[in-house]
Amino acid sequence: MAIFIIGFFCLIHGAVANSADWFNEQSALFTAHKQFLEGNTLKGFSTVIEVLQSSADNNIIQNIDQLMGLAISNNCGRDLSTIVVPKWLTSLSVQRVIIQSPGRLHHRMIVQFDSEKSISSISFIKWPDEELLVNPSVKRVPTQDEAVTQYIYASESLNNRVKNGLYKLIITADDKEKTQWETWIVLSTPKTEMAVSWLGKEKWKTTQTGLLKSNCPLPEMSVAIYDHQDNEYIKLWEEKYEEKFPKSLPSTNVLPGSYILSVSFNHKRFQGPISIQEIQAITKVINFDASENVESN
């Protein structure tokens, strides 16, 4: 709480320096700060959405961004929203991905969830009217429950990271009623604690970039091998780690051939029942032959 109070007054000082007119005791932004400071995260988050709906002022958006960074609660944002997700929709996540491959850096936006209903479409709109999922790739993955399908909607390759701010997520089912569910999402500057970079052929290094937050899930490393067939990436093998991160490719059962190796860190926080994920991935093409398709740490 002490850290939040210090951050709160720093934000006030910066806000007043930028624009004394809108940061006053009658403004919605002041109310949001006050609600978070008093521990009422639910009302504070609702007020933040109202502020972003009505203002495109860059100073306000930056102030909200800093406020959201300070307002991650003891349960990592699970109490920011009481939005009710329908029973047919589970494991909902919104993912910003940065992908670094030799000579290229690009970004993607991914919305992933499990559904008991067939889905006809989704929209992810930067408020008020900028659709991010234009011509998205759509992947349907069977789950262990035959009644449930995993849906992965991914944007086209983007030159820049998806901007901070207010978004509206709309999911429409392909049923007789055209059942529709929607919610607000606030994206803020990610606070990441781990990063990964290449060190050599099939070797990499990890760097701690921030203090680990005990109130949020630990950063999760994924090491995966993909095959590229018919313009689609097919996952052949994957291992995940929350500790004792490997620095080279573990033993695999992948057959000889040319594949894509991906190593990534996933940082998770929440807005109510929705998982907000920031993923940094490095990829490169690797070649396995009969004698070196298995490498030990």
Q: What is the mean pLDDT of residues 180-206?
A: 92
At the topology level, CATH places domain 109-187 in Immunoglobulin-like (2.60.40)
4 pLDDT more than 70: no
pLDDT band per the 50, 70, 90 thresholds, residue 290: low
pLDDT band per the 50, 70, 90 thresholds, residue 88: very high
pLDDT of residue 289: 76
pLDDT band per the 50, 70, 90 thresholds, residue 86: very high
Angle at 253 (CA atoms; ends 252, 259), nearest 5 degrees: 75
Q: What is the mean pLDDT of residues 219-247?
A: 92
Domain boundaries, the chain: 2-70, 109-187, 194-288
Better-scored residue on pLDDT, 34 or 212: 34
Q: What percent of the chain has pLDDT over 90?
A: 59
294 pLDDT more than 90: no
Angstrom distance (rounded) from CA 45 to CA 80 = 6
pLDDT band per the 50, 70, 90 thresholds, residue 90: very high
Q: What percent of the chain has pLDDT over 70?
A: 87
Q: Note every long-range contact of 181-186, with CB atoms under 8 Å and residues 24 or more positions apart, other chains counting.
A: 181/85, 181/86, 181/89, 183/81, 183/83, 183/274, 184/49, 185/94, 185/124, 185/271, 185/274, 185/276, 186/45, 186/48, 186/49, 186/52, 186/64, 186/68, 186/271
Better-scored residue on pLDDT, 193 or 190: 193
Angstrom distance (rounded) from CA 150 to CA 140 = 6
pLDDT of residue 9: 46
Lowest mean pLDDT among 7-11, 22-26, 82-86, 165-169: 7-11
6 pLDDT more than 70: no
Angstrom distance (rounded) from CA 99 to CA 226 = 14
Instruction: Give the tens place of pLDDT for each residue, 119-156.
Output: 999 999 999 989 988 889 999 999 999 999 999 999 98
Could you tell me which residues come within 8 angstroms of residue 266 by beta carbon, excluding any fewer than 6 positions away? 219, 220, 221, 222, 277, 278, 279
Instruction: List Cα–Cα distances, 76 to 123, 172, 195, 207, 219, in angstroms.
Output: 26, 28, 20, 23, 13
pLDDT band per the 50, 70, 90 thresholds, residue 27: confident
Q: What is the mean pLDDT of residues 146-171?
A: 94
Instruction: Give the tens place of pLDDT for each residue, 234-281.
Output: 899 999 999 999 999 988 888 889 999 999 999 999 999 999 999 999
87 pLDDT more than 50: yes
229 pLDDT more than 90: no
Mean model confidence pLDDT for the chain: 86
pLDDT of residue 67: 87
pLDDT band per the 50, 70, 90 thresholds, residue 215: confident
Calculate the CA dihedral of residues 128, 115, 153, 165 and round it to 10 degrees.
Answer: 30
Q: What is the mean pLDDT of residues 79-94?
A: 93
